Amino acid sequence: MSTTFALATHSVISAETTIGVLVAARPLLARIFEKLGIDYCCGGKQTLATACARLGLDPATTVALLNSAVATLTAGPAEVDAAAMGLGELADHIEATHHAYLKAELPRLVEMADRVGTKHGWRDARLPEVAAAVNTVALEMLSHMQKEEKILFPLVRQIEAGARGDISAPIAQLEAEHESAGNLTAKLRLLTDGFTPNAEACNTHRALLAGLAEFEADLHRHVHKENNVLFPRTLARAAGLQPA
Ligand SMILES: [Fe+2]
Ligand SMILES: [Fe+2]
Please state the pTM of the whole predicted model.
Answer: 0.76
Residues 219 and 186 sit within 8 Å (Cβ to Cβ): no
**pLDDT tens sequence for the chain (244 residues):** 333 333 544 457 889 988 877 877 777 787 788 778 787 765 678 899 999 999 999 999 999 888 888 877 765 556 788 889 999 999 999 999 999 999 999 999 999 999 999 999 998 999 999 999 999 999 999 999 999 999 999 999 999 999 999 999 999 999 999 999 999 999 999 999 999 999 989 999 999 999 999 999 999 999 999 999 999 999 999 998 765 4
Ligand nearest to C-alpha 149: 1
CA of 102 to the centre of ligand 2 (A): 11
- Of 230, 191, 185, the C-alpha closest to 86 is 230
Residue 19 one-letter amino acid: I
Residues with CB under 5 A from ligand 2 (ion): 226
How do the domains of the chain map onto residue ranges?
2-75, 82-238
DSSP-based three-state secondary structure for 115: helix
CA of 223 to the centre of ligand 2 (A): 6
